[in-house]
A = this chain, B = another copy of it.
């Protein structure tokens, strides 16, 4: 598959943002996080792992975005469609991009500048430096009103194919789990080997892996792997977020170590049924809350006081992004949205099972990007 995107993709994103900016009376949007900067520039690097340097992209109301970045990124940014690349030698302990950002923003005059301030956002620069930037601005800063998140939520065809490829890679790795997991193998070793298989199957890297293995269900799904060996009767769950060319997959699979109990089989089947119920109504016009309810009805019986958490979320350039499948999220699905369906079910006191698939909303039935799991749990 071709790496990156054609310039037309970035032009289209920028045009759409600028149309929304005009409606919101914004003269520019300031972006500081990896995914937001990459969305409009194509700047893809794992160097963001280092917290030492801030990176800025200024999206004006007209014209191309302007990069205000550490000099170490100039060569790579120069390979994107961005022309106006302003750099400083970072880290600079007294002025780490503050003046350069301020100058760039002040070229816009007494402008209204938006920056992401809402749900799931953060400002990736020191608060003290942010204070200095604001103090030196000719214009004012306010929320960008969720414009960037709204755009990112609806994926283009080429974005969907990147996510599909990531999902296919994860699917091949999951299919090989019987090679590496069995009674007696330490969970930490399973984690390590599973990541290896993700790489062998084509992942660029594996930013996320969680999972658990415990009798008849697990209590926690975010812990790192312990060295405890898999035991007969365990349910093993692996949940990976792997990346291919900057786009994530995010789904899990459950396995029974030895024959599954009737309860485990039943719980697994209900999880699949819950996914099916959500997929049946996952169409443009359906809301996130409706998907939640369709699954919740099956995994908890629904009703007031259902204790289920989030049963899925948006997916794309980040492991999780955008909407949440919770009762309060009334986001309306649109064709092109990529989401996870992630029902969980209680299997005993403090124990549960979780299943997850990735779909893209289309004008008809959703397309499963993850290779859909069957109702029967795989036996190791």
Distance in angstroms between the alpha carbons of A204 and B2 in the assembled complex: 30
- Give how many A residues have a beta carbon under 8 Å from the other chain's beta carbons: 75
Contact status B76-A220, CB under 8 Å? yes
Interfacial chain B residues near A205, Cβ < 8 Å:
195, 206, 209
Contact status A318-B222, CB under 8 Å? no
Distance in angstroms between the alpha carbons of A329 and B89 in the assembled complex: 14
Contact status B122-A51, CB under 8 Å? yes
Interfacial chain B residues near A127, Cβ < 8 Å:
115-117, 121-123, 143
Contact status A119-B143, CB under 8 Å? no
* A162 contacts the other chain (CB 8 A): no
1/0 per residue, CB under 8 A from B, across A218-229: the answer is 011111111100
- CB A329 to nearest CB in B, in angstroms, measures 6
Interface hits, A289-328 → B, CB 8 Å: 309-310, 313, 318-321, 324, 326, 328
* A174 contacts the other chain (CB 8 A): no
* A263 contacts the other chain (CB 8 A): no
Residue in B44, B94, B143 whose beta carbon sits within 8 Å of that of A128 in the complex:
B143
* A84 contacts the other chain (CB 8 A): no
Q: A76-B223, A122-B124, A224-B46 are in contact. Are A207 and B204 (CB under 8 A)?
A: no
- One complex includes copies of this chain to the number of 2
Residue in B44, B52, B119, B223 whose beta carbon sits within 8 Å of that of A313 in the complex:
B52
* A175 contacts the other chain (CB 8 A): no
Q: A124-B122, A196-B200 are in contact. Are A309 and B89 (CB under 8 A)?
A: yes
Contact status A220-B75, CB under 8 Å? yes
Interface hits, A25-69 → B, CB 8 Å: 44-47, 49-52
- CB A203 to nearest CB in B, in angstroms, measures 7
Distance in angstroms between the alpha carbons of A7 and B193 in the assembled complex: 31
Interface hits, A207-248 → B, CB 8 Å: 207-210, 219-227, 241
Interface hits, A310-366 → B, CB 8 Å: 310, 313, 318-321, 324, 326, 328-329
- CB A50 to nearest CB in B, in angstroms, measures 4
Interfacial chain B residues near A168, Cβ < 8 Å:
none
- CB A209 to nearest CB in B, in angstroms, measures 7
Interfacial chain B residues near A76, Cβ < 8 Å:
220, 222-223
Interfacial chain B residues near A203, Cβ < 8 Å:
192
- CB A208 to nearest CB in B, in angstroms, measures 4
Contact status A47-B121, CB under 8 Å? no
Distance in angstroms between the alpha carbons of A222 and B92 in the assembled complex: 19
* A93 contacts the other chain (CB 8 A): yes
1/0 per residue, CB under 8 A from B, across A84-103: the answer is 00000101111010000000
* A157 contacts the other chain (CB 8 A): no
Contact status A93-B192, CB under 8 Å? no
1/0 per residue, CB under 8 A from B, across A1-42: the answer is 001000000000000000000000000000000000000000
Q: Can you pick out 21 interface pairs between chain A and chain B where the beta carbons lie within 8 Å of each other?
A: A3-B226, A3-B227, A45-B223, A47-B210, A50-B208, A51-B321, A52-B120, A76-B220, A91-B120, A91-B310, A91-B324, A93-B326, A116-B127, A117-B128, A118-B126, A123-B127, A127-B143, A192-B204, A195-B205, A195-B206, A205-B209
Extra 9 A-B pairs, beta carbons < 8 Å, given A93-B324, A122-B124, A123-B123? A3-B226, A46-B224, A49-B208, A72-B221, A72-B309, A92-B328, A94-B328, A117-B128, A206-B206
